[in-house]
């Protein structure tokens, strides 16, 4: 029996139901890449084929399956068919196996490890006797079979010996580097989506023949997966098909609220405690602090290649970078002038341009121009590489002589231009910018990432909307900022110390790669 689960272009992709139900499969993808959607599609196809399975639901997000299909939902919340604390789980699961009934084992409201351990024991024991094809799906497997820490041994036993009993295993995780390697290595079928963190890419390396193939995972779009191993005759890149039930794993969307009614007075006057203010939106960090410190160990400097590192890690903490999402309209075009739009992200601490795409990508931006007035920006951004004389600057910028002199003085003091004397003692002003100023037409915003409320006070940004407007007006007089908001991106600030002094690095909180921001 084959189950059609998605498409590769116009071609339908089907998997072997026997292999899925009695084999060992892992489904892996980072947050926001479509893992939960894919699991739900697999469950719907199994339900349509009347194939039994038990899904461990850690977030209560698969309850919508019951809206369209006949199954049993065990849990402690509203809408459950059986109370997880009172029901005889052994009798329930025996009936489910024999009748090919699907069970949603909802542990979102309870101490999940104890209940899942009991369930695994019962399933293994029942299938040792019944030997009927049945599938155990373990969502967020890193919670139950972690690489470091206490693992549920019976799930490991199922991964090794369940197949002969007809008991299959599908483990799902966002973080394969945190899952017990002896379980992952048993998975002879794989469904793997987008991954960005280096540790996670290494963890799935055993399923690929080369590092180049592993690197393709970082290039996947959300919703794209590689299907490999026993489920498919060849490695295939596909998208999961449509669902017939609602997706309840979506991130809640912020919707505008109606205007607040005038208050009678300050909260303190009414005797009410002050409500905490929302600090803004933050990108959800993927990297744990322990993983960041492990990565930092590899970046310690050594005096000689084979000796112990010369440096010690003295601190490592997660901090947030304020990033401004900016939208600008301006008049542009070489032949026909028209209104154009540029959307980009700017680091609020340095003015560097940032692309959020599989982690932070930092490009030269407007750092050198911070603090300058509009005239100074216009002059330094317009100087030719070979320099310009005072008179040429006045002609190019159409600024008054006094304004140009004042701006040049400030640029010389800021060491952004220098005076060079040429033939006949003619003074030429040459730019000393650290990097070329980007044109508005070259700027790109990048990909949106999963967000959560920022906990704690927002970090201060050096770049403001007002200071950016001054810079943009100096570069392009027609530029107008039509959108400006701030998000916060997680990075790990790691400090090293040695006999030679101290230094610091920043590690991307989503990919673990070193970030080239200047560190204050």
- Supply the pLDDT for residue 266: 43
Are the beta carbons of 116 and 150 closer than 8 angstroms? Answer: no
Are the beta carbons of 27 and 15 closer than 8 angstroms? Answer: no
- Strand positions, DSSP E, 310-394: 312-332, 338-347, 353-356, 360-363
- Supply the pLDDT for residue 519: 52
Two tokens, residue 174: 């966002």
- Supply the pLDDT for residue 265: 45
> Quick one: CA dihedral 444, 449, 453, 455, positive or negative?
negative
Are the beta carbons of 133 and 96 closer than 8 angstroms? Answer: no
Which CATH architecture describes the domain 374-431?
Answer: Orthogonal Bundle (1.10)
Gyration radius of the chain's alpha carbons:
29
**For 440-484, what is the HEC assignment?**
HHHCCCECCCCEEECCCCCCCCCCCHHHHHHHHHHHCCCCEEEEE
For the chain (520 residues), the mean pLDDT of every run of 10, in chain order, is 90 93 95 90 94 94 90 89 93 95 92 93 96 96 91 95 94 94 94 91 91 88 90 90 75 53 45 45 84 86 65 92 93 81 92 83 88 91 82 90 92 90 83 85 76 84 93 92 93 90 90 75
Q: What is the pTM of this model?
A: 0.59
Pair type for strands 501-508 and 417-421: unpaired
**Residue 519: which of 502, 500, 505 has the closest Cα?**
505
Instruction: Find the Cα–Cα–Cα–Cα dihedral 199, 202, 204, 208, rounded to 10°.
Output: 160
Are the beta carbons of 251 and 451 closer than 8 angstroms? Answer: yes
- Every domain of the chain with CATH number 1.10.10.10 lies at 374-431
Superfamily of domain 2-240: P-loop containing nucleotide triphosphate hydrolases (3.40.50.300)
Cα within 13 Å of Cα(271), Cβ side: 0
Q: What are phi and psi of 242, to 5 degrees?
A: -75, 155
Q: What are phi and psi of 10, to 5 degrees?
A: -95, 0
Two tokens, residue 91: 């009798």
- Every domain of the chain with CATH number 3.40.50.300 lies at 2-240
Are the beta carbons of 433 and 368 closer than 8 angstroms? Answer: yes
């Amino acid at each position: 029996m084959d189950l059609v689960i998605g498409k590769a272009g116009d071609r339908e992709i089907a998997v072997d139901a026997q292999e899925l139900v009695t084999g060992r499969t892992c489904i892996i993808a980072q947050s926001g890449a479509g893992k939960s959607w894919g699991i739900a599609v697999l469950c719907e196809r199994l339900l349509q084929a009347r194939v039994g399975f038990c899904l461990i639901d850690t977030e209560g997000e698969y309850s919508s399956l019951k809206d369209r299909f006949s199954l049993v939902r065990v849990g402690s919340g509203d809408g459950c068919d059986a109370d997880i604390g009172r029901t005889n789980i052994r009798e329930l699961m025996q009936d489910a196996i024999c009748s090919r009934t699907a069970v949603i084992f909802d542990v979102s409201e309870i101490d999940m490890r104890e209940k899942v351990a009991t369930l695994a024991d019962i399933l293994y024991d029942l299938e040792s006797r019944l030997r009927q094809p049945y599938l155990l799906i373990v969502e967020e497997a890193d919670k139950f079979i972690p690489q470091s820490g206490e693992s549920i041994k019976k799930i490991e036993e199922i991964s090794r010996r369940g197949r002969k009993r007809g008991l299959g295993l599908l483990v799902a995780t966002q973080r394969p580097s945190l899952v017990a390697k002896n379980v992952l290595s048993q998975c002879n079928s794989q469904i793997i989506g987008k991954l960005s963190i280096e540790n996670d890419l290494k963890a799935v390396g055993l399923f690929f023949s080369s590092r180049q193939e592993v690197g393709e995972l970082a290039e996947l779009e959300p919703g794209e997966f590689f299907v490999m191993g026993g489920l498919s005759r060849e490695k295939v890149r596909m998208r999961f098909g449509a669902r017939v039930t609602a997706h309840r794993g979506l991130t809640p969307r912020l919707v505008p609220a109606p205007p607040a009614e005038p208050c009678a007075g300050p909260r303190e006057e009414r005797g009410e405690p002050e409500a905490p203010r929302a600090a803004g939106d933050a990108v959800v960090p993927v990297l744990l602090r322990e993983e960041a410190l492990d990565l930092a160990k590899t970046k310690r400097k050594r005096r000689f290649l084979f000796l112990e590192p010369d440096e010690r890690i003295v601190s490592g903490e997660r901090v947030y970078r304020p990033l401004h999402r900016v939208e600008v309209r301006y008049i542009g075009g070489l032949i026909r002038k028209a209104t154009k739009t540029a959307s980009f992200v700017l680091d609020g601490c340095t003015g560097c341009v940032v692309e959020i795409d599989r982690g932070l990508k930092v490009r030269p931006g407007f750092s050198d121009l911070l603090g300058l007035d509009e005239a100074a920006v216009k002059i330094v951004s317009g100087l030719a590489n070979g320099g310009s004389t005072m008179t040429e600057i006045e002609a190019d910028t159409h600024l008054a002589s006094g304004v140009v002199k004042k701006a040049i003085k400030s640029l010389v003091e800021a060491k952004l231009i220098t005076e060079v004397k040429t033939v006949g003692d003619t003074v030429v002003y040459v730019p000393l910018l650290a990097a070329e100023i980007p044109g508005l037409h070259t700027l790109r915003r990048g990909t949106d990432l999963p967000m959560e409320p920022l906990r704690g006070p927002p970090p201060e940004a050096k770049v403001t909307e007002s200071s950016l407007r001054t810079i943009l007006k100096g570069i392009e007089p027609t530029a107008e900022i039509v959108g400006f908001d701030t998000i916060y991106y997680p990075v790990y600030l790691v400090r090293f110390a040695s006999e030679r002094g101290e230094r610091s690095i920043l590690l991307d909180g989503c990919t673990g790669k070193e970030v080239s921001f200047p560190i204050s």
